[in-house]
Amino acid sequence: MRKLYLIGIGAGNPEYITVQAIKALNLVDVFFFMDKGKAKQDLVNLRKQICERYIEKTSYRVVEADDPVRDTTISDYTTRVELWHRQRALVYEEMIAQQLEENQCGGFLVWGDPSLYDSTLRVIEHIIACGRLCFEFEVIPGITSIQVLAARHKISLNGIGESIVITTGRQLSAGLSGTAERTIVMLDGQCSFNSLLDEELDIFWGAYLGMEEEILLSGKLSEIAGMIEKVRHEKRQRNGWIMDTYLLSKPNRAAQARVPRTGTSCDHNDL
Ligand SMILES: C[S@@+](CC[C@H](N)C(=O)[O-])C[C@H]1O[C@@H](n2cnc3c(N)ncnc32)[C@H](O)[C@@H]1O
């Protein structure tokens, strides 16, 4: 039977690959890459570098397909994304059926970890639900951008015994969840932290985490929000893309140890 590996490759640095991921990489006959356009070519290239660096055999193949474009005329976000997943499922199904022989292994290299804000698992579930293709699959966990953010800022994600919320920029713009002392925000193209400038919050922000271009900024949100927005805009213009993640924290002892209460703590290259 065909087997698929969904391999978490870590978020940005080729050295975030686990030993388990390297073993899985070496079992794969065909890798499936989605082409997301020129701007995201850097991310495809990183996947290719990972294959070249860690795979010992030369007999594997890479098959690329164009990623379906989301239909922006659909106003409801969930409906729009679900339709996009179904379109992706058709593309994946066709690639697997045509390019992977029975008894071969296919591989999807998933950014960070497959369980966190990634569609690959849902797309695979769609294909299984359609029932036209028979295969087994295994998920190999990877280091998420959240873990890299915490490691690079040298902070704990949670306070003692406290909850943390992981959310998106879209959700944050509706306000902070009342139950958590700390909130991690991903997928925020709109700098939604600007809606919270009246709140007493610290921010630990990271872009291109784990990569050569990595930028880290931290401080009082109300003091450095403008700087983050400016840096984000400039880097996005220059590189054609940016990925950033941040943690918002109510000021507490843990944060005070790390964040100077006057001014900002900046650790970044080439602002
Ligand atoms: C589609 S989600 C994928 C998350 C991924 N599965 C993970 O485990 O981190 C993409 C979002 O993850 C965050 N992200 C991923 N890689 C990042 C990186 N190297 N630096 C900063 N943020 C990153 C950003 O918030 C980005 O908008």
Is it the case that residue 64 has pLDDT exceeding 70? Answer: yes
Q: Is the CB of 141 under 6 A from ligand 1?
A: no
Q: Are residues 8 and 125 in the same domain?
A: yes
268: pLDDT strictly greater than 50 = no
How many angstroms is it from 210 CA to the middle of ligand 1?
11
Q: What is the pLDDT of residues 113-123, one digit of tens each?
A: 999 999 999 99
Q: Out of 53-62, 79-88, 165-174, which region has the weakest mean confidence (pLDDT)?
A: 79-88
Does ligand 1 come within 6 angstroms of the Cβ of 144? yes
Q: Which numbered atom of ligand 1 lies nearest the CA of 187?
A: 27
Count how many domains the chain has: 2
Q: Is 10 in the pocket of ligand 1 (CB under 6 A)?
A: no
Q: How far apart, in Å, do the first and last CA atoms of the chain sit?
A: 52
Which has the closest alpha carbon to 20: 3, 8, 32? 8
Show the tokens assigned to 172. Answer: 């944050």
pLDDT at position 71, please? 81
pLDDT at 271: 46
Residues spanned by the domain of 242:
145-268
State whether 112 and 71 are in the same domain. yes
* 262 plus 201 within the same structural domain: yes
Q: Of the residues 243, 248, 268, which should be mutated to test ligand 1's pocket, given the most ligand atoms within 8 Å of the CB?
A: 243
**pLDDT value, residue 258:** 57
Confidence of residue 252 (pLDDT cuts 50, 70, 90): low
Q: Which of 111, 140, 169 is the last residue of a domain?
A: 140
pLDDT score, position 57: 87
Whether 125 and 209 share a structural domain: no
Counting atoms of ligand 1 from 1, which one is nearest the CA of 113?
A: 8
Task: Strands of the chain (E only): list them.
Answer: 2-8, 30-35, 61-66, 105-110, 135-140, 164-168, 182-186, 202-207, 215-220, 244-249, 264-268
| Statement: residue 130 has pLDDT above 70 | yes
Q: Of 30-39, 101-110, 154-163, 175-184, which range is least confident?
A: 30-39
* CB of 204 shorter than 6 A to ligand 1: no
Q: What is the mean pLDDT of residues 195-202?
A: 94
Distance from the alpha carbon of residue 132 to the mean position of ligand 1, in angstroms: 32
- pTM equals 0.90
Q: Are residues 171 and 117 in the same domain?
A: no
Q: Are residues 103 and 199 in the same domain?
A: no
Picking from 101, 120, 140, the residue at the C-terminal end of a domain is 140
Please report which confidence band the pLDDT of residue 180 belongs to, taking 50, 70 and 90 as the band edges: confident
Where do we find the tokens 């002892």?
Answer: 253
- Is 6 near ligand 1, meaning CB less than 6 Å away? no
pLDDT of residue 109: 96
In a shared domain, residues 154 and 134: no
Torsion of CA 159, 162, 167, 171, to 10 degrees: -120
Pairing of strands 264-268, 182-186: unpaired
CA 186 – ligand 1 centroid, Å: 7
Residues 150, 131: one domain?
A: no
Q: How far apart are CA 258 and CA 150, in angstroms?
A: 12
The CATH number given to whatever domain includes residue 226 is: 3.30.950.10
Protein residue closest via CA to atom 21 of ligand 1: 244
Residue whose CA lies nearest to ligand 1 atom number 2: 117
Best mean pLDDT range from 34-43, 62-71, 228-237: 228-237
Q: Is the pLDDT of residue 157 over 70?
A: yes
Of 118, 140, 162, the domain-final residue: 140
Q: Are residues 27 and 112 in the same domain?
A: yes
189 C-alpha to center of ligand 1: Å?
Answer: 12
Digit-coded pLDDT (tens) for 14-51: 999 999 999 999 999 999 988 766 657 778 888 889 99
Cα of 179 to ligand 1 centre, how many Å?
24
Query: What separation in Å is there between the alpha carbon of 62 and the centre of ligand 1?
Result: 23
The encoded tokens of residue 37 equal: 């356009």
Domain with residue 50: its CATH number is 3.40.1010.10
For residues 8 and 136, state if they share a domain.
Answer: yes
Same domain for 195 and 224, yes or no, is yes
Instruction: Specify whether 11 is located in the same domain as 118.
Output: yes
